[in-house]
Amino acid sequence: MVAKDGQKVAAVLSDGNVPGSREGLHERVLDKRSGAASAQDWRAKLRQWWPYYAMMAPGLLFFFIWHYVPIWEAKMAFEQVRIIPPNIWVGLKNFQQLFASPIFYQVLANTLIISAMKIAFVFPVPIIVALLLNEIRNGKLRGTIQSAIYLPHFLSWVVIAGVFIALLSPTDGAVGQIQQAMGFGSPSNYLTNPGSIRWVLVISEIWRSAGWDSLLYLAAIFAIDPQLYEAAEIDGASRWQKIWHVTIPGIVPTIATLFILNMGLFLSADLNQVINFQNDVNASTIDILDTYVYRLGLSTGEYALATAAGLFKAVIGMVLIVTSHLVSKRLTGKGVW
Protein backbone atom coordinates (compact mmCIF):
# COMPACT_ATOMS: atom_id res chain seq x y z
CA MET A 1 0.00 0.00 0.00
CA VAL A 2 2.99 2.24 0.38
CA ALA A 3 4.49 1.85 -3.02
CA LYS A 4 1.63 2.69 -5.31
CA ASP A 5 1.25 6.32 -4.26
CA GLY A 6 3.45 7.52 -7.11
CA GLN A 7 0.93 6.48 -9.73
CA LYS A 8 -2.09 7.93 -7.96
CA VAL A 9 -2.94 11.27 -9.40
CA ALA A 10 -1.68 13.97 -7.15
CA ALA A 11 -3.58 16.78 -8.78
CA VAL A 12 -5.78 16.86 -5.70
CA LEU A 13 -5.55 20.25 -4.08
CA SER A 14 -2.37 21.10 -5.95
CA ASP A 15 -1.75 24.59 -7.28
CA GLY A 16 -0.30 23.73 -10.65
CA ASN A 17 2.59 21.72 -9.28
CA VAL A 18 1.91 18.02 -9.54
CA PRO A 19 4.47 16.42 -7.28
CA GLY A 20 3.46 12.78 -7.52
CA SER A 21 3.07 12.52 -11.27
CA ARG A 22 5.68 11.13 -13.60
CA GLU A 23 6.51 14.58 -14.94
CA GLY A 24 6.96 15.90 -11.43
CA LEU A 25 9.23 13.02 -10.59
CA HIS A 26 11.25 13.54 -13.72
CA GLU A 27 11.63 17.25 -13.07
CA ARG A 28 12.76 16.59 -9.56
CA VAL A 29 15.45 14.20 -10.72
CA LEU A 30 16.66 16.79 -13.24
CA ASP A 31 16.55 19.51 -10.61
CA LYS A 32 18.98 17.61 -8.42
CA ARG A 33 21.70 18.79 -10.81
CA SER A 34 21.41 22.47 -10.06
CA GLY A 35 21.29 23.53 -6.45
CA ALA A 36 19.31 26.71 -7.02
CA ALA A 37 16.52 25.04 -8.95
CA SER A 38 16.26 22.30 -6.37
CA ALA A 39 15.98 24.84 -3.56
CA GLN A 40 13.18 26.51 -5.46
CA ASP A 41 11.48 23.19 -5.99
CA TRP A 42 11.80 22.48 -2.29
CA ARG A 43 10.24 25.81 -1.39
CA ALA A 44 7.35 25.27 -3.79
CA LYS A 45 6.76 21.87 -2.28
CA LEU A 46 6.75 23.25 1.21
CA ARG A 47 4.28 25.93 0.17
CA GLN A 48 2.02 23.24 -1.18
CA TRP A 49 2.33 20.66 1.53
CA TRP A 50 2.80 22.59 4.78
CA PRO A 51 -0.90 22.44 5.74
CA TYR A 52 -0.72 18.65 5.67
CA TYR A 53 2.42 18.54 7.75
CA ALA A 54 0.80 20.98 10.18
CA MET A 55 -2.19 18.66 10.48
CA MET A 56 0.06 15.64 10.93
CA ALA A 57 2.30 17.35 13.46
CA PRO A 58 0.49 16.26 16.66
CA GLY A 59 0.45 12.64 15.53
CA LEU A 60 4.04 12.71 14.35
CA LEU A 61 5.14 14.32 17.59
CA PHE A 62 3.29 11.66 19.53
CA PHE A 63 4.92 8.83 17.59
CA PHE A 64 8.33 10.38 18.00
CA ILE A 65 8.06 10.97 21.74
CA TRP A 66 6.14 7.87 22.74
CA HIS A 67 7.71 5.30 20.47
CA TYR A 68 11.12 6.57 19.41
CA VAL A 69 12.48 8.33 22.51
CA PRO A 70 12.06 5.08 24.52
CA ILE A 71 14.26 3.32 21.98
CA TRP A 72 16.95 5.83 22.89
CA GLU A 73 16.21 5.30 26.60
CA ALA A 74 16.75 1.58 26.08
CA LYS A 75 20.48 2.21 25.82
CA MET A 76 20.31 1.80 29.57
CA ALA A 77 20.57 -1.93 28.90
CA PHE A 78 24.24 -1.34 28.10
CA GLU A 79 24.92 0.89 31.07
CA GLN A 80 25.49 0.71 34.77
CA VAL A 81 22.80 2.91 36.27
CA ARG A 82 24.07 5.29 38.92
CA ILE A 83 22.02 7.37 41.30
CA ILE A 84 23.99 10.43 40.32
CA PRO A 85 24.24 10.61 36.52
CA PRO A 86 25.91 10.00 34.18
CA ASN A 87 25.55 6.24 33.86
CA ILE A 88 28.61 4.24 32.90
CA TRP A 89 28.75 2.35 29.61
CA VAL A 90 29.39 -1.32 30.35
CA GLY A 91 28.68 -2.92 26.98
CA LEU A 92 27.15 -6.36 27.17
CA LYS A 93 27.80 -6.91 30.88
CA ASN A 94 24.11 -6.69 31.80
CA PHE A 95 23.23 -9.26 29.18
CA GLN A 96 25.97 -11.57 30.46
CA GLN A 97 24.63 -11.24 33.98
CA LEU A 98 21.11 -11.89 32.69
CA PHE A 99 22.09 -14.99 30.74
CA ALA A 100 24.03 -16.27 33.74
CA SER A 101 21.02 -16.20 36.07
CA PRO A 102 18.95 -19.37 36.42
CA ILE A 103 15.77 -17.35 37.02
CA PHE A 104 16.02 -15.93 33.51
CA TYR A 105 15.93 -19.40 31.99
CA GLN A 106 13.05 -20.44 34.20
CA VAL A 107 11.11 -17.36 33.10
CA LEU A 108 11.99 -17.96 29.46
CA ALA A 109 10.88 -21.59 29.78
CA ASN A 110 7.60 -20.52 31.39
CA THR A 111 6.96 -18.06 28.57
CA LEU A 112 7.63 -20.69 25.91
CA ILE A 113 5.54 -23.35 27.67
CA ILE A 114 2.56 -21.02 28.10
CA SER A 115 2.78 -19.89 24.46
CA ALA A 116 3.05 -23.49 23.27
CA MET A 117 0.06 -24.50 25.37
CA LYS A 118 -1.96 -21.64 23.96
CA ILE A 119 -1.08 -22.56 20.39
CA ALA A 120 -1.92 -26.21 21.00
CA PHE A 121 -5.16 -25.72 22.93
CA VAL A 122 -6.48 -22.21 22.25
CA PHE A 123 -5.66 -21.86 18.57
CA PRO A 124 -7.91 -24.67 17.20
CA VAL A 125 -11.00 -23.66 19.19
CA PRO A 126 -12.15 -20.69 17.07
CA ILE A 127 -11.73 -22.80 13.91
CA ILE A 128 -14.06 -25.43 15.32
CA VAL A 129 -16.48 -22.75 16.53
CA ALA A 130 -16.55 -21.15 13.07
CA LEU A 131 -17.18 -24.52 11.38
CA LEU A 132 -20.04 -25.21 13.78
CA LEU A 133 -21.50 -21.72 13.44
CA ASN A 134 -21.44 -22.06 9.67
CA GLU A 135 -23.62 -25.16 9.89
CA ILE A 136 -26.43 -23.19 11.54
CA ARG A 137 -28.72 -21.98 8.81
CA ASN A 138 -31.12 -20.17 11.13
CA GLY A 139 -29.78 -16.62 11.02
CA LYS A 140 -31.44 -15.49 14.23
CA LEU A 141 -30.11 -18.38 16.29
CA ARG A 142 -26.64 -17.92 14.87
CA GLY A 143 -26.74 -14.17 15.50
CA THR A 144 -27.77 -14.68 19.11
CA ILE A 145 -25.02 -17.20 19.78
CA GLN A 146 -22.49 -14.93 18.10
CA SER A 147 -23.39 -11.84 20.09
CA ALA A 148 -23.11 -13.85 23.29
CA ILE A 149 -19.76 -15.48 22.62
CA TYR A 150 -18.12 -12.30 21.29
CA LEU A 151 -18.72 -10.38 24.52
CA PRO A 152 -15.70 -11.47 26.64
CA HIS A 153 -13.32 -10.18 23.96
CA PHE A 154 -14.26 -6.65 25.02
CA LEU A 155 -13.69 -7.12 28.74
CA SER A 156 -10.42 -6.23 30.44
CA TRP A 157 -8.19 -8.89 31.96
CA VAL A 158 -8.89 -7.41 35.40
CA VAL A 159 -12.57 -8.19 34.91
CA ILE A 160 -11.88 -11.62 33.43
CA ALA A 161 -9.57 -12.53 36.30
CA GLY A 162 -12.29 -11.36 38.69
CA VAL A 163 -14.81 -13.59 36.94
CA PHE A 164 -12.46 -16.58 37.06
CA ILE A 165 -11.64 -16.02 40.72
CA ALA A 166 -15.37 -16.27 41.45
CA LEU A 167 -15.78 -19.23 39.08
CA LEU A 168 -12.93 -21.20 40.62
CA SER A 169 -13.58 -20.38 44.24
CA PRO A 170 -13.25 -23.67 46.20
CA THR A 171 -16.15 -22.80 48.51
CA ASP A 172 -18.86 -21.51 46.18
CA GLY A 173 -17.51 -21.39 42.62
CA ALA A 174 -19.43 -23.06 39.83
CA VAL A 175 -16.54 -25.34 38.87
CA GLY A 176 -16.16 -26.71 42.39
CA GLN A 177 -19.89 -27.28 42.71
CA ILE A 178 -20.09 -29.20 39.46
CA GLN A 179 -17.06 -31.20 40.50
CA GLN A 180 -18.66 -32.12 43.81
CA ALA A 181 -22.01 -32.93 42.26
CA MET A 182 -20.35 -35.29 39.83
CA GLY A 183 -18.44 -36.98 42.63
CA PHE A 184 -14.92 -35.89 41.68
CA GLY A 185 -14.05 -35.06 45.28
CA SER A 186 -13.64 -31.71 46.90
CA PRO A 187 -12.32 -28.92 44.69
CA SER A 188 -8.83 -27.59 45.12
CA ASN A 189 -7.90 -23.99 44.55
CA TYR A 190 -6.83 -23.98 40.93
CA LEU A 191 -5.64 -20.39 41.14
CA THR A 192 -3.01 -21.02 43.78
CA ASN A 193 -1.93 -24.41 42.52
CA PRO A 194 1.26 -24.10 40.45
CA GLY A 195 0.28 -27.24 38.56
CA SER A 196 -3.07 -25.99 37.35
CA ILE A 197 -2.58 -22.26 36.95
CA ARG A 198 -1.31 -22.59 33.37
CA TRP A 199 -4.50 -24.39 32.47
CA VAL A 200 -6.42 -21.53 34.02
CA LEU A 201 -4.54 -19.22 31.64
CA VAL A 202 -5.42 -21.46 28.69
CA ILE A 203 -9.08 -21.77 29.60
CA SER A 204 -9.55 -18.08 30.40
CA GLU A 205 -7.92 -17.27 27.06
CA ILE A 206 -10.41 -19.57 25.34
CA TRP A 207 -13.24 -17.93 27.27
CA ARG A 208 -12.08 -14.52 26.16
CA SER A 209 -11.12 -15.05 22.55
CA ALA A 210 -12.62 -18.24 21.09
CA GLY A 211 -15.85 -16.55 20.04
CA TRP A 212 -14.40 -13.40 18.63
CA ASP A 213 -11.54 -15.10 16.81
CA SER A 214 -14.01 -17.40 15.08
CA LEU A 215 -15.18 -14.31 13.21
CA LEU A 216 -12.00 -14.27 11.13
CA TYR A 217 -12.54 -17.86 10.03
CA LEU A 218 -16.22 -17.24 9.46
CA ALA A 219 -15.31 -14.38 7.15
CA ALA A 220 -13.04 -16.75 5.25
CA ILE A 221 -15.80 -19.37 5.04
CA PHE A 222 -18.26 -16.81 3.67
CA ALA A 223 -15.76 -15.97 0.96
CA ILE A 224 -15.82 -19.54 -0.37
CA ASP A 225 -17.56 -19.85 -3.72
CA PRO A 226 -21.13 -21.19 -3.09
CA GLN A 227 -20.92 -23.10 -6.38
CA LEU A 228 -18.43 -25.45 -4.76
CA TYR A 229 -21.06 -26.42 -2.21
CA GLU A 230 -23.70 -26.84 -4.89
CA ALA A 231 -21.41 -29.08 -6.91
CA ALA A 232 -20.63 -31.13 -3.80
CA GLU A 233 -24.34 -31.44 -3.06
CA ILE A 234 -25.07 -32.67 -6.56
CA ASP A 235 -22.37 -35.25 -6.11
CA GLY A 236 -24.26 -36.38 -3.02
CA ALA A 237 -21.76 -35.18 -0.41
CA SER A 238 -22.82 -35.41 3.22
CA ARG A 239 -22.44 -32.59 5.72
CA TRP A 240 -19.05 -33.91 6.87
CA GLN A 241 -17.83 -34.49 3.36
CA LYS A 242 -18.71 -30.90 2.49
CA ILE A 243 -16.90 -29.59 5.58
CA TRP A 244 -13.92 -31.80 4.92
CA HIS A 245 -13.61 -31.30 1.16
CA VAL A 246 -14.88 -27.74 0.66
CA THR A 247 -14.93 -25.66 3.84
CA ILE A 248 -11.65 -26.71 5.41
CA PRO A 249 -9.58 -26.45 2.21
CA GLY A 250 -11.21 -23.04 1.72
CA ILE A 251 -9.99 -21.68 5.04
CA VAL A 252 -6.56 -23.32 5.14
CA PRO A 253 -4.85 -20.11 3.97
CA THR A 254 -6.47 -18.16 6.82
CA ILE A 255 -5.53 -20.86 9.30
CA ALA A 256 -1.96 -20.84 8.02
CA THR A 257 -1.71 -17.05 8.21
CA LEU A 258 -3.04 -16.85 11.73
CA PHE A 259 -0.90 -19.76 12.86
CA ILE A 260 2.25 -18.17 11.53
CA LEU A 261 1.34 -14.81 13.03
CA ASN A 262 0.70 -16.49 16.37
CA MET A 263 4.18 -17.97 16.18
CA GLY A 264 5.44 -14.41 15.88
CA LEU A 265 4.04 -13.66 19.32
CA PHE A 266 5.76 -16.61 20.94
CA LEU A 267 7.65 -14.52 23.48
CA SER A 268 4.57 -12.55 24.54
CA ALA A 269 2.48 -14.77 26.74
CA ASP A 270 0.21 -11.77 27.40
CA LEU A 271 1.39 -9.63 30.29
CA ASN A 272 -2.08 -8.25 30.99
CA GLN A 273 -3.48 -11.70 31.50
CA VAL A 274 -0.65 -13.15 33.55
CA ILE A 275 -0.27 -10.17 35.86
CA ASN A 276 -3.87 -10.54 36.98
CA PHE A 277 -3.67 -14.27 37.60
CA GLN A 278 -0.30 -14.17 39.29
CA ASN A 279 0.09 -14.58 43.05
CA ASP A 280 2.92 -15.49 45.41
CA VAL A 281 2.10 -19.20 45.28
CA ASN A 282 1.75 -19.73 41.53
CA ALA A 283 4.42 -17.25 40.41
CA SER A 284 7.01 -19.97 39.85
CA THR A 285 5.08 -21.48 36.95
CA ILE A 286 3.59 -18.41 35.30
CA ASP A 287 6.32 -15.84 35.73
CA ILE A 288 6.90 -14.77 32.12
CA LEU A 289 9.48 -12.45 30.57
CA ASP A 290 7.20 -9.41 30.82
CA THR A 291 6.29 -9.90 34.47
CA TYR A 292 9.96 -10.62 35.21
CA VAL A 293 10.98 -7.32 33.61
CA TYR A 294 8.25 -5.53 35.52
CA ARG A 295 9.24 -7.00 38.86
CA LEU A 296 12.98 -6.69 38.30
CA GLY A 297 12.71 -3.10 37.17
CA LEU A 298 9.87 -1.42 38.94
CA SER A 299 9.83 -3.40 42.19
CA THR A 300 13.49 -4.24 42.73
CA GLY A 301 14.97 -1.22 40.98
CA GLU A 302 17.35 -3.27 38.83
CA TYR A 303 16.76 -0.90 35.94
CA ALA A 304 19.67 -1.84 33.70
CA LEU A 305 19.13 -5.57 34.08
CA ALA A 306 15.39 -5.22 33.51
CA THR A 307 15.97 -3.11 30.41
CA ALA A 308 18.37 -5.72 29.10
CA ALA A 309 15.75 -8.44 29.63
CA GLY A 310 13.12 -6.23 27.98
CA LEU A 311 15.39 -5.53 25.04
CA PHE A 312 16.15 -9.22 24.64
CA LYS A 313 12.44 -9.90 24.42
CA ALA A 314 11.82 -6.95 22.09
CA VAL A 315 14.56 -7.89 19.64
CA ILE A 316 13.71 -11.61 19.50
CA GLY A 317 10.02 -10.70 19.35
CA MET A 318 10.60 -8.32 16.47
CA VAL A 319 12.59 -10.93 14.55
CA LEU A 320 9.80 -13.47 15.13
CA ILE A 321 7.05 -11.10 14.00
CA VAL A 322 8.87 -9.90 10.91
CA THR A 323 9.84 -13.47 9.99
CA SER A 324 6.31 -14.74 10.46
CA HIS A 325 4.98 -11.82 8.42
CA LEU A 326 7.35 -12.59 5.58
CA VAL A 327 6.68 -16.33 5.72
CA SER A 328 2.95 -15.68 5.80
CA LYS A 329 3.18 -13.28 2.89
CA ARG A 330 5.24 -15.74 0.87
CA LEU A 331 2.95 -18.70 1.54
CA THR A 332 -0.49 -17.17 1.53
CA GLY A 333 -0.18 -13.62 0.26
CA LYS A 334 -1.46 -12.29 3.58
CA GLY A 335 0.60 -10.61 6.21
CA VAL A 336 0.33 -8.50 9.32
CA TRP A 337 0.31 -5.20 7.48
Partner 1 sequence: MASQSRRTPLERIEYILIVSTLLLLTVFTLQPLLNLLALSFTEPSRVAGFSGLSIIPDGFSLEVWSLLLQHPNVQRGLFNSIWMTATSVTIGVLGTALMAWGLSRPGLPGRRFIFIAVLVTIVFEPGIIPDYFLMKRLGLLNTPWAVIMYKVVSAWYLIILVRFFEEIPKELLEAAELDGANPFQTFFLVVLPLAKSALATIALFYLVLHWNEFFRSMIYLNDQTKWPLQVVLRQFVIEGDRVAIVGAANASGNIGAAQINIRALKAGMIFITILPILAIYPLILKFFTKGTMSGALKG
Site for partner 1 in 112-171 (CB under 8 A): 129, 132-133, 135-137, 141, 145-152, 154-159, 161-167, 169
How long, in residues, is the chain? 337
Complex with partner 1: residue 143 or 195, whichever CB lies closer? 143
Pick from 118, 176, 282, 287: which binds partner 1 (CB under 8 A)?
Answer: 176
Q: Helices in the chain by DSSP H: which ranges?
A: 22-31, 35-63, 69-73, 93-100, 102-117, 124-135, 139-150, 157-167, 174-181, 197-222, 226-234, 239-242, 248-264, 271-277, 283-286, 289-294, 303-332
Distance between CA 297 and CA 310 in Å, rounded?
Answer: 10
Q: How far is the CB of 335 from partner 1 (least distance, A)?
A: 4
Touching partner 1, residues 219-238 (CB under 8 A): 219-220, 222, 226, 229-230, 233, 238
326 contributes a contact to partner 1 by CB under 8 A = no
Touching partner 1, residues 96-115 (CB under 8 A): none
Please count the residues of this chain forming the interface with partner 1, following the rule CB under 8 A: 119
State the binding string over 248-267 for partner 1 (x if CB under 8 A, else -).
Answer: ------x--xx---------
19 contributes a contact to partner 1 by CB under 8 A = yes
Angle at 192 between CA 189 and CA 193, to 5 degrees: 80
Q: How far is the CB of 169 from partner 1 (least distance, A)?
A: 7
Listed ranges 32-40, 112-120, 192-200, 291-299: which one lies at the site for partner 1 (CB under 8 A): 291-299
Distance between CA 296 and CA 288 in Å, rounded?
Answer: 12
Angle at 144 between CA 138 and CA 149, to 5 degrees: 125
